[in-house]
Amino acid sequence: MSARIKNLMSRFTRDDQGDITLEAMIVLPALLVILAASWVYFDVMRQHSISQKANYTIGDMLSRETEMIDDAYIDNARNLLFHLTQDQGDNVDLRITVVQFNKNGNGSGNTGSYELVWSEARGDWSALTQADITAYTPQMPVLAPGDQSILVETRDWYQPALDLAGLEAFDIGTYSFNRPRFAPQLIFEGVNDGSGKKWENNGWGNGDQDAPGGSLCNNNAENATNCDGSSTGGNGKGKKNSA
């Protein structure tokens, strides 16, 4: 009997059937966790890429604009952002800001400051102030005196499909700077449209009479005249209202 048991035990120790199955049972859970974590982080990068491309699309749209924009334009820009980011909720924020670089003092050297022209926000964000623009200075692009740049900021709430590796829901924030393509300024209704507020439209409009989309008036930059034919006293680019 003891010899038979000994033979059975010896046969059992030499038997290698089922090794692959046993190894798979040990390794498979770890492989599934690694695969799931890789998919989650890939999806984060994918969504960030989508948000950045959506930002670029809106910025490019604004840079080509030759008509005066208003609140409805900003509202629809956010609706476009909803569509581009494939967001199903109300968790997308949009902020559009126009800044102008002005020389300090007598305009000599490379010193200058960025000045807020206008800022509009939709969602949970607030419009930027001049103090915010000053804080943004290290991020600002290099501009020639009198040039303007369009800052587009977006924020999209991302909820991971799986709770792995401590990855919790967070905001995906993007920003971009865009130089106006067909005009030196982007006009917002009631701000820099010549309505007597801080910034005025000095004959350049949002473009010229030959630019796509028309213009508020003819481009009289060569003669430095306003829309009514009066002299601007300069080169016609956006300047502050002296009133």
- pLDDT tens track for 138-196: 889 988 888 999 999 999 888 887 776 667 788 899 999 999 998 888 999 887 666 65
Residue 184: inside a domain = no
**Which of the four pLDDT bands, split at 50, 70 and 90, describes residue 78?**
very high
Answer yes or no: is 217 within a domain. Answer: no
Highest mean pLDDT among 52-66, 87-101, 154-168, 229-243: 52-66
Number of domains in the chain: 1
Report the run of H or E that residue 2 belongs to, with start and end.
helix 2-14
- Residue 230's pLDDT is 55
Identify whether 43 is part of a domain. Answer: yes
218 against 63, higher pLDDT = 63
Q: Is the model's pLDDT at 211 over the cut of 50?
A: no
Percent of the chain whose pLDDT exceeds 70: 71
Tokens representing 15 are 């038997």
Residue with tokens 């949002």: 206
Q: Mean of the pLDDT values across residues 1-9?
A: 74
Q: Give the residue numbers spanning the domain of 125.
A: 27-178
Q: How far apart are CA 74 and CA 171, in angstroms?
A: 21
Could you tell me which of 222, 7, 228, 229 has the C-alpha nearest to residue 237? 222
- The whole-number pLDDT of residue 110 equals 56
Average pLDDT over residues 15-30: 78
β-sheet bridge partners, residue 152: 96, 176
In a domain, 193, yes or no: no
In this predicted structure, the answer to whether residue 206 has a pLDDT above a threshold of 60 is no
Residues 6 or more apart whose CB falls under 8 angstroms from that of 63 comprise: 150, 178, 179, 180, 181, 186
191 belongs to a structural domain: no
Task: Provide the pLDDT for residue 5.
Answer: 76
Residue 44 confidence class, pLDDT cut points 50, 70, 90 = confident
Assigned domain for 38 exists: yes
Tokens coding 50: 């989508």
Helices (H) and strands (E) in the chain, counts: 4, 4
133 in any annotated domain: yes
| Torsion of Cα atoms, 56 then 57 then 63 then 65, to 10° | -170
* Residue 4, pLDDT above cutoff 80: no
Amino acid sitting at position 167: L
Count of CB atoms within 10 A of residue 22's CB? 9
Residue 18 lies inside a defined structural domain of this protein:
no
